[in-house]
Amino acid sequence: MCGIVGYTGLGLAAGQPATAETTPVPSGHPLEVALEGLRRLEYRGYDSAGVALVGPGRDDVAFAKKSGKLGNLVGEIEAHPMPQATAAIGHTRWATHGGPTDVNAHPHLADGDRLAVIHNGIIENFAQLKKELLAEGVFFRSETDTEVAAQLLAREYRRAGDLTEAMAATARRLEGTFTLLAVHADDPLKVVGARHDSPLVVGLGEGENFLGSDVAAFIAFTKEALELGQDQIVTITPTSVDVVDFRNKPAEAKRFTVDWDAAAAEKSGFESFMDKEIHDQPHAVADTLLGRTDVDGRLTLDEIRIDEAVLRAVDKIIVIACGTAAYAGHVAKYAIEHWCRIPVEVELAHEFRYRDPILNEKTLVVAISQSGETMDTLMAVRHAREQGAKVLSIVNTQGSTIPRESDAVLYTHAGPEIAVASTKAFLSQITAAYLLGLYLAQLRGNKFADEVAYLLGELRDVPAKIQTVIERGEYVRATARSMQDATSVLFLGRHVGYPVALEGALKLKELAYIHAEGFAAGELKHGPIALIDEGQPVFVVVPSPRGRDSLHSKVVSNIQEIRARGARTLVIAEDGDDEVRRYADEIFWIPQVPTLIQPLLAVVPLQIFAMSLATAKGLDVDQPRNLAKSVTVE
Ligand code: M6R
């Protein structure tokens, strides 16, 4: 979804020497900061981009905007250079109201081009507000809801003469979800932002300050940040940050230090972010496990600030999430039920909220989200808390909204995930959910401390084994390259292999735009087997032969059934599984691990397969069509 950047500094052009009157600006020219921020937010998904600048001595806003990728905007700026400035706002737009054209791109201008606004979200009452403004003779250039907000802000500014106050008055009139950023030529050192159900974080600098949809926008410049609360307005100048609520009353924001490394958001020599993030997975799992035990080796999850008595009394867990995060929750269900003997339901967040779920103070809701901003998941979190349930979130992005609105948060430490298709987030979410399961098992006496320590030891062995799977990736890549013309691929799994099959299918749909379906292998004979005919490729995730006997043999039987009907079988199996070898057309070996840990390895060849097939088709694996990294609207 849309990416938002705001910057204010003392406005030296890059390379310009500082004088006695000015302080050097460490981050350089505001335009460059805005473009760098937009580059770092590209991963969110967008179809047009724009910037607006204000500076002393100018009586209007300078702006540039272009449909398409950031390169188009940069080309436009190179063709028509922009003036020196002291503050900038930048935007990448994911079209909702009005197509992805130059005119509809942000910023939107008002007040005789002296005011510029950018926006993320959807203003639901825009038609009614537009009617009101049209009746006052306001002229609109675009079809967007954002321009309505810009014109409304201009009207309020004319009344109040102060941008912060005008923003508060505007925010009170808007319905829907929004982050708005505005600059005005009258006040060239100021950027004002407002947020309602849409993300906005503040980056704190020296002689400069930043705003961003997420911390990625400014981590190249500062790690110090402020987490804004709901319905707050922030006004930044180079030397101040003021936060108020929509009534213009002073409000609190929480300071934090970003623990992501800016270099982690670079490709570091890989062809794509996705390839890099697949290679990051051993670290993502290891870092998520790091520092979670005390000196006696006992699992401690200090972040879980929910009363132990409440956790002991929990009689049901509901996992809410979307997409890949929901599949991570689905994997965790098998482990948590096995270890803790607590029933676990896994529900897509958007379904949960509208189905009148039964929950109470004994229900623990676990919300899983990489971005911490997925609107469907956020709304489900709110709904769960309104019903009296405790909410624990498993989130990767600091400063995001879901942790702020949860009773407790367990952070994954996957680092920034830039590719739209989730890879390392999936593995670290499973790891964090397993930590939660073991913690509850320890707390509730379902497992002895030595059993928990043993299982933790097995988890700690996983990163090296993921590395082995990655190193064996060339055979998967070659197989994928040979399957460029496939039009449909099926994925089968059983037990924890089932959500792995679902995730494998999702990766292929997202990246290679190929019809792909994941099924529980046991469901095959209840319908999906009708899809099998000569040459139909079917991936099968085979459980460990050392696990529950019946599981392995049943999946091997399923492979025989589909093979007998002409399927081409692509099998993921553990080293040494001689029985399955003879039924596989292609076999991708993974190291031996206990049954519950297998998903952390088995999914990796499926990620590599989807990425390699998409790459062979010449597709952009980091930014697949129609998708946004962070889905901040329902
Ligand atoms: O940020 P979240 O984990 O809440 O995102 C949830 C889904 O939108 C996300 O996992 C999506 O399905 C990915 N594109 C999967 O690769």
- Per-residue pLDDT reduced to its tens digit, 503-550: 999 999 999 999 999 999 999 999 999 999 999 999 999 999 888 768
User: In a mutational test of the pocket of ligand 1, which residue from 370, 503, 611 has the highest number of ligand atoms less than 8 Å from its CB?
Assistant: 370
133 Cα–ligand 1 center, Å: 38
Does residue 322 have an active-site annotation? no
Say if residue 252 is in the same domain as residue 281.
Answer: no
pLDDT of residue 22: 41
- The atom of ligand 1 lying closest to the CA of 423 is 16
Q: Is residue 17 scored above 70 in pLDDT? A: no
Q: Give every strand in the sheet of 586-590, ordered side by side.
A: 515-520, 488-493, 537-541, 568-574, 586-590
Say if residue 173 is in the same domain as residue 85.
Answer: yes
Say if residue 373 is in the same domain as residue 457.
Answer: yes
Say if residue 253 is in the same domain as residue 110.
Answer: yes
247 Cα–ligand 1 center, Å: 35
pLDDT of residue 627: 87
Q: Is residue 11 scored above 70 in pLDDT? A: no
Do residues 233 and 202 touch, judged by C-beta distance below 8 A?
no
Domain boundary among 262, 293, 326: 262
Whole-prediction pTM? 0.87
User: For residue range 606-618, what is the model confidence (pLDDT) as tens digits?
Assistant: 999 999 999 999 9
Say if residue 376 is in the same domain as residue 410.
Answer: yes
DSSP 388-457: T-EEEEEES-TT-HHHHTSSEEEE-------SSS-SHHHHHHHHHHHHHHHHHHHHTTSS-HHHHHHHHH
Rg for the chain, CA atoms, rounded: 26
Do residues 210 and 30 touch, judged by C-beta distance below 8 A?
no
pLDDT of residue 23: 42
In a domain, 269, yes or no: no
Structural domain for 437, as ranges = 275-470
pLDDT of residue 417: 93
Say if residue 533 is in the same domain as residue 568.
Answer: yes
User: For residue range 91-147, what is the model confidence (pLDDT) as tens digits?
Assistant: 998 877 777 888 889 999 999 999 999 999 889 999 999 999 999 999 999 888 899
User: Which of 259-263, 486-490, 494-498 bottoms out in mean pLDDT, i.e. has the lowest?
Assistant: 259-263
Whether ligand 1 lies within 6 angstroms of the CB of 422 is answered as yes
pLDDT of residue 28: 61
Residue type, 482: S
In a domain, 170, yes or no: yes
Say if residue 239 is in the same domain as residue 360.
Answer: no
Q: Residue 103's domain is classified under what CATH number?
A: 3.60.20.10
Whether ligand 1 lies within 6 angstroms of the CB of 325 is answered as yes
Report the distance separating Cα 580 and Cα 551, nearest Å: 13
Task: Name residue, tokens 């990051």.
Answer: 280
> With bands split at pLDDT 50, 70 and 90, how would you rate the model's confidence at 20?
very low
Say if residue 156 is in the same domain as residue 64.
Answer: yes
In a domain, 634, yes or no: no
Task: Name residue, tokens 């993320």.
Answer: 120
Do residues 410 and 394 touch, judged by C-beta distance below 8 A?
yes
User: For residue range 471-489, what is the model confidence (pLDDT) as tens digits?
Assistant: 999 999 999 999 999 999 9
Mean pLDDT of the chain: 92
Q: Is 292 exposed, middle or buried (0-12, 13-18, 19+ CB in 10 A)?
A: buried
499 Cα–ligand 1 center, Å: 15
User: For residue range 361-375, what is the model confidence (pLDDT) as tens digits?
Assistant: 999 999 999 999 999
pLDDT of residue 16: 47
In a domain, 268, yes or no: no
Residue nearest to atom 11 of ligand 1 (CA): 323
Whether ligand 1 lies within 6 angstroms of the CB of 369 is answered as yes
Do residues 367 and 349 touch, judged by C-beta distance below 8 A?
yes
Report the distance separating Cα 215 and Cα 371, nearest Å: 11
Q: Look up residue 466 and give its two tokens.
A: 């993921």
Whether ligand 1 lies within 6 angstroms of the CB of 421 is answered as yes
Q: Is residue 19 scored above 90 in pLDDT? A: no
230 against 344, higher pLDDT: 344
Whether ligand 1 lies within 6 angstroms of the CB of 420 is answered as yes
In a domain, 270, yes or no: no
Does residue 629 have an active-site annotation? yes
Taking the CA of residue 490 as centre, how many other CA atoms within 13 Å lie in the half-sphere pointing to its CB? Answer: 23
Q: Residue 531's domain is classified under what CATH number?
A: 3.40.50.10490
- In this prediction, residues 302-324 reach a mean pLDDT of 93
User: For residue range 164-207, what is the model confidence (pLDDT) as tens digits?
Assistant: 999 999 999 999 989 999 999 999 999 999 999 889 999 999 88
> With bands split at pLDDT 50, 70 and 90, how would you rate the model's confidence at 445?
very high
Domain count, the chain: 3
199 against 632, higher pLDDT: 199
Say if residue 525 is in the same domain as residue 465.
Answer: no
DSSP bridge partners of 255: 226
- In this prediction, residues 585-607 reach a mean pLDDT of 97
Domain boundary among 239, 262, 285: 262
- In this prediction, residues 425-454 reach a mean pLDDT of 95
In a domain, 452, yes or no: yes
Say if residue 257 is in the same domain as residue 333.
Answer: no
Whether ligand 1 lies within 6 angstroms of the CB of 510 is answered as yes
In a domain, 50, yes or no: yes
Domain boundary among 420, 446, 470: 470
User: In a mutational test of the pocket of ligand 1, which residue from 422, 423, 429 has the highest number of ligand atoms less than 8 Å from its CB?
Assistant: 422
User: For residue range 22-41, what is the model confidence (pLDDT) as tens digits?
Assistant: 444 456 689 999 999 999 88
Say if residue 311 is in the same domain as residue 388.
Answer: yes
Q: Is residue 324 scored above 60 in pLDDT? A: yes
In a domain, 267, yes or no: no
Task: Name residue, tokens 């999430």.
Answer: 321
Say if residue 296 is in the same domain as residue 307.
Answer: yes
Whether ligand 1 lies within 6 angstroms of the CB of 323 is answered as yes
